[in-house]
């Protein structure tokens, strides 16, 4: 089934690992000798109850349910089973968490950190921050970018996101300048006939090897930690900030959905709640009668 999810459904490597983990849990709960056609709805509900007893988060339980549903749908599709008991499973209600975003002051301060602190590789790190903020792309999408993806211009590039769906992301002038500066520094560091020619990855570590998602996360953590702004952020905060800024400044929600690569408009709508609260805050701060009047 995992091969089917990868090749036909276009699941990412991280999603495949998560599904494999959840299905291994299912086998543990049911016993390795059980046949899939003998598994009942009550069996599946018992598995979910066990996860609840172990104090698993609602997101983890719902991911498990999703994996179980996918397994039984696959087995029903290829006629390994006659009925699908997982159709009657209900997901667990999750507490609503608003996406965490940065203010303009916070994003500006973080983007300036590589040049001010020079903790790692200032040209590369500046380019990473500016490109994350400018495009709103996922950190995995940024890590997958290649030199060959660009055709001499650095204002946009086509990436492959979740579900193997292609979309174009855009880079404004600050991001373009930072990227060009990084590429020149990279050329000087490794030489024209060095590792740079052998590695097509856009972002590399200081040894010339492709930079991973974990590597980018560490870079953001260093500059937003005690050595930098002391306001810890994750790479995803750039994406949240991009979406919030776009909607606050009047971008159509469907356009933002396309830029973020969201499959559902409801995912993008989370940011409208943030922007409404933010607009009220700006209004109260800016309007002559918005603040408290002195007695």
Active-site residues, by number, are: 138, 162, 236, 239, 262, 271
Token reading at 215: 């590597």
Percentages (nearest 5) of helix, strand, coil residues in the chain: 60, 5, 35
Query: Which residues make Cβ contacts (< 8 Å) with residue 131, sequence separation at least 6?
Result: 137, 142, 171, 175, 178, 179
Number of other residues whose CB lies within 10 A of the CB of residue 217: 15
| Half-sphere exposure of residue 28: CA atoms within 13 angstroms, side-chain side | 10
Whether 30 contacts 43, CB under 8 Å: yes
Angle between helices 265-286 and 253-260 (to 10 degrees): 120
Whether 167 contacts 161, CB under 8 Å: yes
**Cα 148 to Cα 203: distance, rounded to the nearest angstrom:** 12
Which residues share a beta bridge with 166?
A: 160
Closest CA to 29 of 65, 4, 59: 65
Number of other residues whose CB lies within 10 A of the CB of residue 263: 11
């Amino acid at each position: 089934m995992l091969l089917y999810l990868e090749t036909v459904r276009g699941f990412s490597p991280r999603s495949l690992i998560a599904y494999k983990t959840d299905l291994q849990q299912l086998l543990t709960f049911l016993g390795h000798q059980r046949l899939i056609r003998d598994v009942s709805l009550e069996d599946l509900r018992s598995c979910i109850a066990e996860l609840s007893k172990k104090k698993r988060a609602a997101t983890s339980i719902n991911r498990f349910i999703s994996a179980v549903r996918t397994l039984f749908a696959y087995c029903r599709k290829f006629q390994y089973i006659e009925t699908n008991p997982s159709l009657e499973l209900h997901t667990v209600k999750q507490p609503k968490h608003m996406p965490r975003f940065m203010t303009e002051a916070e994003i500006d301060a973080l983007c300036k950190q590589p040049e001010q602190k020079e903790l790692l590789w200032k040209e590369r790190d500046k380019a990473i921050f500016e490109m994350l903020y400018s495009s709103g792309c996922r950190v995995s999408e940024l890590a997958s970018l290649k030199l060959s993806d660009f055709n001499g211009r650095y204002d946009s590039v086509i990436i492959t996101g979740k579900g193997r769906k292609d979309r174009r992301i855009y880079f404004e002038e600050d991001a373009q300048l930072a990227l060009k500066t990084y590429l020149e520094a990279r050329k000087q560091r490794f030489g024209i006939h060095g590792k740079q020619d052998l590695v097509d990855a856009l972002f590399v570590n200081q040894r010339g090897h492709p930079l991973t998602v974990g590597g980018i996360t560490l870079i953001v953590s260093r500059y937003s930690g005690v050595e930098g702004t002391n306001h810890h952020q994750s790479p995803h905060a750039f994406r949240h900030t991009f979406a919030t800024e776009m909607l606050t400044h009047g971008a159509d929600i469907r356009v933002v959905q396309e830029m973020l690569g969201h499959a559902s408009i409801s995912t993008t709508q989370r940011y409208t709640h943030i922007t409404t609260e933010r607009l009220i805050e700006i209004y109260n701060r800016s309007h002559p009668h918005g603040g408290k009047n002195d007695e």
